[in-house]
Amino acid sequence: MLFVGMQNKGHNVQIWQPKPIFSKLPFGLIGKKWMGYLDSFIIFPFVAKVRIRKCKRKTLFVFTDQALGPWVPLVSKKAHVIHCHDLLALQSAKGEIKENLTSWTGSYYQKFILWGYLAAKHFISVSINTEETLRTFLGDRAVTSQVVYNGLNPKFRPLDTMTARENLEKCIGISLKTGFLMHVGGNQWYKNRPGVIEIYNSWRHISIRKLPLLLFGESPSDDLKEVFEESEFKCDIHFIVDATDDLIHFAYAGASLLIFPSHAEGFGWPIAEAMACGCLVITSNVPPMTEVGGKSATYISLKPSNPSDVNKWAADSARVVDSIICMPKKESQTARSLALHNAKRFELDAAINQIEEIYLNITEQAR
């Protein structure tokens, strides 16, 4: 997005990244991972130093993800900026997230990333929540720290509901004519995929409607498989793995509801993507979900950490789901219009324009 966007603005853009050298050697998966670190943090810095010397003074060095922090010291005295998505790994390494314990090697790696952060002066975060979390690590040392919401893929737009369902049916072979519930996300702890099934189970117990649940993302983890196998409605729960953007587009446009009960996010792409397609959304009542959903999403509480409280949470959430599924047609149309209006905050061109302005300001300061 950044590469194409800045090129279209007339800027000369290059992508620098480590080339596989050690990681091409015949090691197992773990060995390749460690060899990849050698490529990234031993070989690449030498290559980058040579290239940096040849760059013009007005060059801006853009780090497209906060995990690239270890490279920042190479250009800390030149114009630079780091894009920050989420800081969950850093928070976990500090012991701030009990649900996600970090190994000693993982903790060391995050300290290495943080060491790079501390040499940086300019940051762009994808949400106010990420920017506020970043400040807890940096203090007041940042010269620039601004928020630019992610720009959506223009592909995500409204489609005729029935046409979208028919197209999705052809691809996955499941009857969807009366509607369906959906979730998009991986198996990371914070995505709370088990919670989606727990909410669905509770909803099916109180509803006369038998809409299926589609979970788009990775193959289910062992924990998720266990929750799935225990569900008495598992015949109506379907995992859609490695879905294309087109398939997810059909799903958003045809879904009755997106259930997105995440514990944490950097931004929360599915909320904005779904709304851009006119899909109604239920999500957690914490930032950045509340930032992205605004007044157009419906909110539920976070899933409790105490197992004895999960059933009540699922039951309460299920009642919220049912209130949306049973919403009168006119009210539903109004809600979908509000969702579409909210999604306009995340238009791609607006994001590119904001980012370019920040880039130019940073470059001017450096000069």
Quick: pLDDT tens for 39-69: 999 999 999 999 999 999 899 999 999 999 9
Q: What is the mean pLDDT of residues 73-78?
A: 95
- Render pLDDT for 303-325 as a digit per residue (tens, 0 to 9): 999 999 999 999 999 999 999 99
- Render pLDDT for 93-102 as a digit per residue (tens, 0 to 9): 998 888 888 8
Residue 34: pLDDT band by 50, 70, 90 thresholds? confident
Q: What is the mean pLDDT of residues 12-33?
A: 88
Alpha-carbon distances of 146 from 117, 162, 184, rounded to whole Å: 15, 41, 28
Q: What is the mean pLDDT of residues 21-29?
A: 84
The Cα–Cα gap between 39 and 54 comes to: 22
How many CA within 13 A on the CB side of residue 17? 6
- Render pLDDT for 193-209 as a digit per residue (tens, 0 to 9): 999 999 999 999 999 99
Higher pLDDT, 161 or 33: 161
- Render pLDDT for 153-197 as a digit per residue (tens, 0 to 9): 999 999 999 999 999 999 999 999 999 999 999 999 999 999 999
Q: Where are the beta strands (DSSP E) in the chain?
A: 61-63, 80-84, 122-125, 144-147, 181-184, 213-217, 237-241, 257-260, 281-284, 298-300
Higher pLDDT, 342 or 103: 342
Q: What is the mean pLDDT of residues 6-29?
A: 91
Q: Which domains does the chain have, with CATH numbers?
A: 2-151+348-366 (3.40.50), 161-345 (3.40.50.2000)
Residue 218: pLDDT band by 50, 70, 90 thresholds? very high
Residue 32: pLDDT band by 50, 70, 90 thresholds? confident
pLDDT of residue 342: 97
Q: What is the mean pLDDT of residues 81-87?
A: 96
- The backbone region for 166, taken as left when phi is positive above 0, alpha when psi lies in -120 to 50, beta otherwise, is alpha
Residue 150 near residue 272 (C-beta atoms within 8 A): yes
pLDDT at 29 over 80: no
Alpha-carbon distances of 158 from 150, 171, 196, 282, 330, rounded to whole Å: 19, 19, 24, 18, 17
pLDDT of residue 140: 87
The vertex-267 CA angle with 102 and 220, nearest 5°, equals 55
- Render pLDDT for 111-127 as a digit per residue (tens, 0 to 9): 999 999 899 999 999 99
298-305 long-range contacts (CB < 8 A, ≥24 apart) are 298/324, 300/261, 302/261, 302/263, 303/192, 303/195, 303/198, 303/261, 303/263, 305/98, 305/99
pLDDT at 26 over 90: no
Which are the contacts of 215, defined by CB distance < 8 A and separation ≥ 6? 182, 183, 193, 196, 197, 237, 238, 239, 240
pLDDT of residue 347: 95
